[in-house]
Structure 1
Amino acid sequence: MEEFGVYAVFGVNGPPQRLLSSDGSRRVSVAVPPSVRQVVLFSSGPWGDRICVDAELNDADRIPVTIGKLTPFNRCLSWEQWEEETWTDGVTLSVALEGGLLSKSEPELILAAKEYTPKDTAAPLAARELNGKRKRERSAEGDASKVAKAGEEENVCPNSAEEKAASVRKVGGPSGSRQKLFAHGAESSKAKAAVSEAGETRGTVGKTPPQSAARTKSRQSRTPTQTAAPPVRPSGRWGQTLCPIDAQTAILIGGQGAKMQFCKDPMWKLCTEDMSWVAAETLAEGPTPEARIGHTAVYDPDSKRIFVFGGSKNKKWFNDVHILNTQSWRWSTVEAQGKVPPLAYHSCSLFLGELFVLGGVFPRPNPEPDGCSDSLYIFDPHLSIWYQPIVTGDKPSPRSGHSACVIQERYIYVFGGWDTPVCYNDMYMLDLGLMEFSVVKTSGKAPSPRSWHGSAALSDTKFLIHGGYNGNNALSDTFVFDIESSSWTELTLPRLSAPRAGHSIIAMETPGRHHPPEDDSPGSVRRTLLVFGGGDNEGNFYSDLTAVPVEELLSAL
């Protein structure tokens, strides 16, 4: 039987080189040759008791450029230099094996990559040109006047913390590599206060500690004898999805955290009986979705399946559909007919077993994706086909980062969103029976313009809007809309006082034990609003989980 091994290919013409074997070291680092612009990492042979292989591309200062993970169900990773703008000369590939019964537990092994130089190929981009580009970008980001003009570019969110502009790393969001979101930097006193307040409030299950350079280096220099305890909750992140599947369970998928790195722990299971987390990436079989942000995940209670659609990763944009069967715990990929563009930061609503995808950012003709959509696409899982319905009325203008709430299993209420340089606070309603859009005229104090906010239906007549990003700052306010009176009401929620955007909000049935004792009875179920994650655009990414009884929210109106 073939033995287990982990191999790397450096460059398009390089030969596979074995990094890990069944009787070798658990940790290996290898310097990427300066001329190499592509790296492929893959495993071969039976995994046995092995759990995963953590992989990092680190820069010369040992700071991660990009992160990935091999598992028994995801056995190949690839990186390209033009997808990672911080990839310059001096990059090191580090891999570490978790699990299994290896015969050696020695310190990290340092290897040398065999460089292959093909004939008649174009010269690689010079290191000084890359470094110069990086310095020019950071210099531009540090210029307050240029930051102020960032909002004039399509789908660009300027960084509001000028003192942290030098630490901004670019991320592929609604404008590809041009968007500056939640810049990582030293903590400000304001950010510290927000995080501290979030951690002290009732119903909060944790917060994300500051990710300092010293902490990163300490983690990377740990020897095999200093094994870290497995994480007990997801890392801080934004742009993820949280999808309830029953009264006891919700599934967290994807996200991006500190240093604009995609999360190494992309999938978690939330157990609502005690509000605990279980790492779930290795629980499901089949091809797991590639790391991403700005995607959607919707659960169909009839088929017991989660549908994951779209999203982006650096300069990659997705229009794929992944399905997680929650009965068999197996992933599958749909080979759909019909056409749907790659989309991110769209909305996706379930109605009569079909997915209604509205708006979002889509890639215009290469090289830069920078446009917003105003189209409605429907995916029929039974026929595995995409189609565009005929809709009438006044439809929303192109936008991304908006919210969509299904009310009374008949109406979709669309609020807010972003299409640079405009941030919206208008509202539209789609009548799913008539397939007709209409503008919703509201009364009361409406939420200010925003995108990347959270939204959830509280009842058959009310839904909630919380937080978001207004083009300058993350927000912390909360509003409830009543469709019967078409009125807004602002709520004051001390438990949700930390500014955040790109977070997840769901309202789901949960066991009665999480509610006031007088409301509890054996086997009782209550609705609870759950808020997870997000970022404050000051360099902080949250991992806290806040629970608020829906009855408490409705009684405060």
Structure 2
Amino acid sequence: MSFEAWMPLPLPKQLVVFGLGDWSCYSPDTSIAVDVLVTAGVTPQRVGMLEPARRSLVWEGDWRTDIFMASLKEMDKGNSVKLVLSVNGRLLRGVSSSTPAHPFTVPETTQSPVLPADDMTLFQDLEDPTIVKNQSSDVAAGVPRPGRKDVHPALRTLAVPCALKPPSDKVEPSEAWRKSPVCPKKPRKVLFEPTASERDLGEEGSWGVLSDCSQPCTLPSLVSPSPRWCHAMCLSDQGTTILIGGQGVDQKSCKDALWKLEIDSDFWFPVDFQLQNATPLGLYGHTATYDPDTKRIYIFGGIREDKDYSNIYILDTVTWKWLLVVAKGKVPVLTYHSATIYRKELFVFGGTLPRKASLTVGPCSNVLYVFNPEHEIWYQPISEGEKPLPRLGHSATLLKNKILIFGGRRTSLYLSDMHILD
């Protein structure tokens, strides 16, 4: 008898294995061998043994050469390896369960000092009090059920902190962000419900031009981006996301074009006043791609108020300065394309010509363009194999040294094919 569990690659430097469950169904001399199996043709590597008196183990060591080399091949294929637990012993009972007899204790959540209990007014009207009253008394009051010692605590409302509180006094724009007091975190419920414009869009069954959005697309908060679509968003580091551009109500470009989201603290910050020079005007349908090596964001394509579609804007997230690049070579003019960074070069695929009518489908492209920031030049690499169909609105994801292109639209045809560029 054996149990298996998938283990992601690369192979870890340490392993911690717990043998939970009812061991009384096995003979007293039973042991469980823990092995790592990469492929069927390679002998598994033993990492330890579990016994009734020793139900956990910590392994730290070196992997065999054949195991390590085989794992690299499996990792290139996108596969995982197996953690195999082989039972060495006799089964005393015909029916056994690995589920623990008693549920694990979940500590009761206490009230946080930064989440005061009396600050429950924000969006409180979104919740029907009658629904809360009709909940089970065992869950609502946290009363334990008969015969059970440990139960999960009562369900609680998810608390999401609000953003910055706007300053009441007049402060210079450059100092507003630093002097604005942070208001206490308050609970906020987020509703995932289609707006009127989204229902209209779904009934039409096509893209076309969006009708006027008379209702706000998001719940209001003290400081947050205005409702928008056709924007671009990318990570600038592990804890920060940058929001750039977009089109808002009445099909007008958003005036608050640039925002920074601190993911851990859930705070939105307007970034416009931090910048040292002018920002690009009225962007939507563009791409924003972050290069972790240079810590720069490349903004390319889309529809702009200045109608200068071919230039590249580079935002340095260290100095917060814009750099306008007038590139050389055969410069593409695209919108609703895809862009990825690979080895400090920007790979752009697909898209269509910029049009003022948002998402009005025109002739699409299936040409691959590469921008080299060092020489500020565009070029078209020589590629082999069958090209994907021309498309727009697709996705392109970099996986190691491969770009995966999926989906998109071509005139009235919606695509679901996958292409890989090595």
TM-score (structure 2 length as normaliser): 0.49
Q: Which has the higher contact order (CA 8 A, sep 6+)?
A: 1
TM-score (structure 1 length as normaliser): 0.37
Question: Greater strand share, 1 or 2?
Answer: 1
